[in-house]
Amino acid sequence: MGKKDIIIDGENLTIEQVVSVARGGAKIKLSRDAEQKVLRGREVVRKAIDQKRVVYGITTGFGAFSDVFISEKKARLLQKNILMSHATGVGKPLEEEIVRAIMLIRINTLAKGHSGIRLKTIQTLVKMLNQGIHPVVPEKGSVGASGDLAPLAHLSLVIIGKGNAIYKGLKMTGKGAMSRGKVATLELEEGEGLALINGTQVMTGIGALTVYDSINLVKTADIAAGMSLEVLMGSNIELDQKIQKVRPHRGQTISAGNLRRITRNSGIISSHKDCSRVQDAYTLRCTPQVHGASGDALDYVKGIIDVEMNSATDNPLIFPEYDQILSGGNFHGQPVALALDFLAIALSEMANISERRTERLVNPQLSGLPAFLVKEGGLNSGFMIAQYTAAALVSENKVLSHPASVDSIPTSANKEDHVSMGTISARKCREVLFNAENVLSIELLCAAQALDLLTNLKQGKGTMEAYRTIRRNIPHLKKDRIIHKDIERMYELVHHQEILFSVEKRVGRLR
């Protein structure tokens, strides 16, 4: 994105822009059109207040208190009270990059002009994000309907000088962070407290970063599979375009195409072209089908997140063109909850097949290589326990892949009698992603070790580049050492896309 500000208009935010702001520190600016939409939305709210109309959350209490009328005299106290009373989160704070993603998506939603919030309030959020004031937001406490109330309340407390925040790496009071960052705190006006916390931005922010990392991991999985295919003396017949054409799932076609490019010109594969083995094991032969299905699931989830990032998820919603304020259910996180549960399953399956390839690599009866990929076995255990770790992670993923979205529990005196659990879906999906990244890291370590032990034959264009990148960072395992450090370094190469970028530089952009 460079140094140019990202323009926020409520309509066109992308996952790449979220990553640029959340991780790259890119600055943002509201578009002029967004500013006008916000001003028009606030005018409708102001008119309703002047007319003493009964409007949920503006002149009434919240949830089960929606039938309690609040006088104009007490309306501003109500805004302060909603933030304090709803800030009930527990657990570890969300990572700063996640908080930044949440802030950005919340700003984008408010910029649509359907919340009734003041322009000054949105501009305060923009300044906080640009100045690096990151509210401390406990990760647990949202049921994902009526929005992410508890975590967004913690985030919004800082606007009024309460709560806690991180500023330049130091935790301090919200008031202290705003002062040091030179951003003025606000007294919220009618309807603004609810407008700040009624939305799906926590689950969507976590989801956006998880989708971005998953897109890159699916490609990296093809790289790992290509390396394993070579050293396990697999065939490339299963990658033939004719096979994909008669079952033309998009993901399968893409994965097979990636694998063909990654292993192109492989002397290892061509060396056993006429061997007696009739078929490869499923973990090699069915890689395009398995990886491809996960890729197709990811495409669906990305579409849901793209829509949600640019949606109005408040209640009530302001429609200036009709001079209406309407109560609805756009805060309900069901679309995101189902999508991220689906993604967790897709990532879990991708890790499952990777762990099985790792087992084939370390098992001498299946690989024909030294047991656990090390010489002097017995004295050295090699990668024996690395495979245990992969097995533990995929087993944990099976538990985490139980969908949170199939659960619901009534809240607010049964007023809110069906909830999505979408933020739980998001958090556990991110944990599945972390586990999958580590499982694939272990496969890549084992595949590189196997290449050292196997042959002097020429590798494929992509697999050779992946191998070189690994060896520039992690040496061959001649005898036992602390493998945790190798896995940790390999995880960094995977998570920060160094493996992917090096291969793409050699074979072109993978799909």
Pick the CATH number of 207-312+340-507 from 2.60.15.10, 1.20.200.10, 3.30.1330.60, 3.55.40.20: 1.20.200.10
Q: Decide if 185 contacts 160 (C-beta within 8 A).
A: yes
Question: Torsions phi, psi of 377, nearest 5?
Answer: -60, 145
Give the dihedral of Cα atoms 263, 267, 268, 270; nearest 10 deg: 90
Residues of the chain with CATH 1.10.275.10: 6-199
DSSP three-state, residue 486: helix
Residues (pLDDT < 50) of the chain are 1-2
Look at residue 1 in the predicted model and tell me its pLDDT.
40
Query: Which pLDDT does position 97 carry in this prediction?
Result: 98
What is the percentage of the chain residues whose pLDDT exceeds 90?
82
Tell me how many helices (H) and strands (E) the chain has: 21, 9
Token couple for 147: 């929005």
**What pLDDT sits at residue 2?**
45
Residue-wise pLDDT tens digits, 318-353:
999 999 999 899 999 999 999 999 999 999 999 999
Residues of the chain with CATH 1.20.200.10: 207-312+340-507
**C-alpha separations of 432 from 98, 438, 498 in Å:** 16, 10, 21
Alpha-carbon distance of 123 to 159, in angstroms, equals 11
Helix (H, G, I), strand (E, B), or coil: what is residue 363?
A: coil
Q: Please tell me the predicted confidence (pLDDT) of residue 13.
A: 98
Residue 232: which H helix or E strand, with range?
A: none
Quote the CATH superfamily of domain 6-199.
Fumarase/aspartase (N-terminal domain) (1.10.275.10)
> Beta-strand (E) ranges in 25-141?
28-30, 90-93, 133-135, 138-140
- What would the two tokens of residue 367 be? 């690989």
From 106, 96, 102, select the one nearest 136 (Cα to Cα). 96
Model's pTM, two decimal places?
0.95
The answer to whether residue 56 is catalytic is yes
Q: What is the pLDDT of residues 389-423, one digit of tens each?
A: 999 999 999 999 999 999 989 888 777 889 999 99
Q: What is the dihedral of CA 192, 197, 201, 205, to 10 degrees?
A: 110
Identified catalytic residue from 56, 167, 212, 467 = 56
**CA dist., res. 464 & res. 158, Å (int):** 51
Residue 2: CB atoms within 10 Å: 7
pLDDT of residue 457: 76
Alpha-carbon torsion (227, 228, 230, 234), positive or negative: negative
Question: What tokens appear for 257 in the block?
Answer: 């195409």
